[in-house]
Chain A
Amino acid sequence: MPTIQTFPANYTNSEDLLNLQARFNELSQKWEQETCGFSSISKKITNLNYLKIIALGKIIVPFILESLQTKPDHWFLALKALTDEDPTQPGDDFDQAVEAWLNWGKRKGFIC
C-alpha cells in the first residue's frame, strides 16, 4: 500500500487507507473490464468508474501512481485533473508519459 506523506495526518487512518485501496481496486478493475476494448480515449476517460475514481479526490493519487507503476494504463488525464499538474512534455510517447508521472510521484513522495 502506498504511504501518503503529504496529506494532513488527520485526513485518514489505516482503516480508511484499506477501504480506499479496496475501492480503488474495485473501480479500476471495472473500468478496465468495461473499456479495454475501446479505441476511443474519450470513452475510456468518461467511463463512470474512471469518473468515480477521480471523484474520490486527491487522496487517491498515490494509489493511481502505484497502479501506473505496476501496470501502466490510461491514468494521465485522471492525474492531471486531480493534481492540476502535468509533468509530461509535448510529444511524449506512452512510456515517456508514464515515466514522467512516476518521477513526479517520487519527487512528491507519493511513491518510492
Chain B
Amino acid sequence: MSISLELRYPKLRSSGYLLTSPKTPNYNCVAWAAGETNRPWWPISYDTAPYYWPLGEQDDESLEVFIECFKSLGYEICDDENFEEGFEKVAIYIDEEGLPSHMARQLVGKKQWTSKCGDLEDISHPHLVALEGNPGYGKVSCILKRKIN
C-alpha cells in the first residue's frame, strides 16, 4: 500500500494494485513501457541528458508524437486493452488538454498491467481505469500492440 499513490490515483484502492519497485526518479512511465530503467523518456526541446526520446529532440509532446515513437519500436494501434496471446500492449493516457500524461504496459503473458507512476513506485494493476480520473492521469486514449518475438 502506498498513501502517496492512493492520494494521487484514488481509483487504485478499489481496483487493487501491487507495489513492484521502490520509488526512483531514474526512469519514468514511458521508459518503463518501452522496457528501460536507466533514464526518463520524454519529448522535450532541450537536448539534455539524461532525458531521452528515440526520435530525437522534440518541441511537440502531442499524442501523435507518442504514437509515432512506439510505432518506431514495432507497435501498431489496436482496438482494445484485452489480452491477446503472442502480443504485448501499451496504453497512452491523456490529460484534460489532450496531452499524454502516462503510459502503461501489459505484462507479457498476463492480463495485468504495469505502470511507473512518475518518480513514485512501479505497480501492477488489473485494469487501465485504475489510474484514470482527475486526480489521476486523465483517460486512456490509445492502445498499441506488437508481436512478441
A86 contact set on B, CB distance < 8 A:
48-49
Report how far A48 CA is from B20 CA in the complex, Å: 31
Beta-carbon contacts of B26-47 to A below 8 Å, as 1s and 0s?
A: 1111100000001110101011
B42 contact set on A, CB distance < 8 A:
39-42
Residues of A within 8 A of B (CB): 35-42, 72-74, 76-77, 80, 86, 88-97, 100
Report how far A76 CA is from B42 CA in the complex, Å: 14
Which of A36, A39, A41, A91 counts the most B-chain CB atoms under 10 A from its CB?
A39
**Majority secondary structure of chain B interface residues (helix, strand, loop or mixed):** loop
B8 contact set on A, CB distance < 8 A:
37
**Chain B minimum-CB-distance residue to A80:** B48
A96 contact set on B, CB distance < 8 A:
49-50
CB pair A39 B49 closer than 8 Å: no
CB distance from B52 to the nearest CB of A (A): 8
Q: A94-B38, A94-B39 are in contact. Are A39 and B50 (CB under 8 A)?
A: no
Which of A35, A80, A95, A100 is B118 in contact with, Cβ under 8 Å? A35
Report how far A38 CA is from B8 CA in the complex, Å: 10
Apart from A39-B30, A90-B49, A96-B49: 19 A-B pairs, beta carbons within 8 A: A37-B4, A37-B8, A38-B118, A39-B117, A39-B118, A39-B137, A40-B99, A40-B100, A41-B40, A41-B44, A42-B42, A42-B44, A72-B25, A77-B48, A89-B49, A92-B49, A92-B50, A93-B38, A97-B49
For the complex of A and B, the 7 pairs showing the least CB-CB separation, nearest first, are A92-B49, A88-B49, A93-B38, A41-B42, A94-B26, A97-B50, A37-B118
**Chain B minimum-CB-distance residue to A38:** B118
Residues of B within 8 A of A (CB): 4-5, 8-9, 23, 25-30, 38-40, 42, 44, 46-52, 61, 99-103, 116-120, 137
CB pair A88 B25 closer than 8 Å: no
Report how far A42 CA is from B30 CA in the complex, Å: 14
Report how far A21 CA is from B99 CA in the complex, Å: 35
- Can you show 27 pairs from A to B with CB atoms below 8 A apart? A35-B118, A36-B4, A36-B118, A37-B8, A37-B9, A37-B118, A37-B120, A38-B118, A39-B101, A39-B102, A39-B116, A39-B117, A40-B100, A41-B40, A42-B44, A72-B25, A73-B25, A73-B119, A86-B48, A88-B48, A88-B50, A89-B49, A90-B49, A92-B39, A94-B25, A94-B26, A97-B50
